[in-house]
Amino acid sequence: MIDPAVIVGTGLVGASVGCALSAAGLSVHLRDRVRSHAVVAAGRGAGVVEPVDPASARLVVVAVPPTAVPRVVASSLARYPNAVVTDVGSVKSKILDEVIALTEDASRYIGGHPMAGSHQSGPLTAAAELFADRTWVLTPRPDNPDWVVETARTLASVCGARIVEMSAADHDRAVAEVSHFPQLVSSLTAARLADVPRGDLRLAGQGVRDVTRIAASDPDMWVQIVAANRAPIREQLVALRDDLSGLIAALDEPDAVNDVLKRGNKGVRALPGKRGKRPDKLVPVVVQIPDAPGALGRLFADIAMNGINIEDLSIEHDPDREIGYLSIDVAPDRVDGLRRMIRDRGWGLRS
Ligand SMILES: NC(=O)C1=CN([C@@H]2O[C@H](COP(=O)(O)OP(=O)(O)OC[C@H]3O[C@@H](n4cnc5c(N)ncnc54)[C@H](O)[C@@H]3O)[C@@H](O)[C@H]2O)C=CC1
Ligand SMILES: O=C(O)C(=O)Cc1ccc(O)cc1
């Protein structure tokens, strides 16, 4: 149904889709305005740079920056007359409006958005597993024939993603809440660090790193995303401004500060955890590991030998010493066993 596929735009997301489809045995043809990006993506196993016979292409995945998406979708609909054309752009309504304005018949176009990526860009950071167990939003419309929707579903499934279907408008509101607004807040938080004296920055722990990771994202890309989804983002920012004004006015009142922190706790609990497990039902065990080849592998082997399932994990690097702190989340009934094993096997335990 999706073989052969064409990917236009072979940066982080396009090349990752290519890697996932190629790993599933499909033939994938890569195109990019910058040919070297397609060549690098091919080198990472995303497909081949040789063109496909346009009439034989079954699927085109447009993975270019948001402002370029409508034109590339329109030209792909014309160039590949038998293919379903989908995109991975982070906004959906504006792209759809522009595609409809550019084409006579947009029924072979269906919007898509895998909710996976990173703050990095370019094909060098691509990975076939990027979409595994992540949400892939599709925005089918009444004018899409069933086979078009089915083709897009097949793409998301082959990439290992969970499909969520909704209208373009609902998608844009949701991503403003859970992706675009958090990006801007992370950027604002990180921006304040640029003026913090070096000596003060040495006190930075994992908390500030957690809330600023995505502030390293590509500004060019995010300017385009924000421009295309202004109304719902503005709503979030205005609500934040009210919250900030309230907090500033109430800083002397512990009850009001407590209320802000409690609301924060509630928000964290609201986020879905792994397979529906609430993250607050897992317990972190922090292990000190040497920054040396094979250390992680040995630790994981020890944990597996003891029949303990790692539900989630994260790593923090010591800024001065060649060690890392691996935080392993396990079910509460496995904590004692894991701690005992860690000590018995000679690993350092931090909590
Ligand atoms: N970065 C992320 O975490 C995520 C990004 N997205 C969306 O995926 C799309 C691509 O993002 P990334 O892969 O991160 O960007 P990227 O910058 O890594 O790759 C974009 C690629 O598109 C190429 N390109 C630009 N204009 C083109 C054109 N007119 N024709 C052909 N190729 C063109 C560029 O040369 C580049 O190789 C964007 O629309 C973005 O909104 C979706 C989910 C996650
Ligand atoms: O880095 C992360 O955690 C992300 O959430 C990346 C991301 C960036 C843009 C999107 O449209 C979707 C996902």
Which tens digit of pLDDT belongs to each residue from 44-55?
Answer: 999 999 999 999
Average pLDDT over the chain reads 94
Ligand 2 atom closest to 179 (CA):
5
Q: Which two tokens stand for residue 139?
A: 């925005």
Q: Which of the two residues, 314 and 14, has the higher pLDDT score?
A: 14
- Is 185 a pocket residue for ligand 2 (Cβ < 6 Å)? no
**Model-level pTM?**
0.86
Q: How many CA atoms lie within 13 A of 346 on its CB side?
A: 3
CA–CA separation, 227 vs 95, rounded Å? 12
Whether the predicted interface score ipTM is above 0.90: yes
By most ligand atoms within 8 Å of CB, the mutation choice from 179, 185, 209, 211 for ligand 2 is 179
Closest among 220, 213, 263, 266 to 242, alpha carbons compared:
263
Complete domains list, the chain, with CATH:
5-166 (3.40.50.720), 171-270 (1.10.3660.10), 279-349 (3.30.70.260)
Specify the pLDDT at position 279. 63
Specify the pLDDT at position 283. 87
Q: Which of the two residues, 281 and 287, has the higher pLDDT score?
A: 287
- 30 phi/psi in degrees, rounded to 5: -105, 135
- Is 93 a pocket residue for ligand 2 (Cβ < 6 Å)? no
Closest among 132, 135, 64, 77 to 110, alpha carbons compared:
77
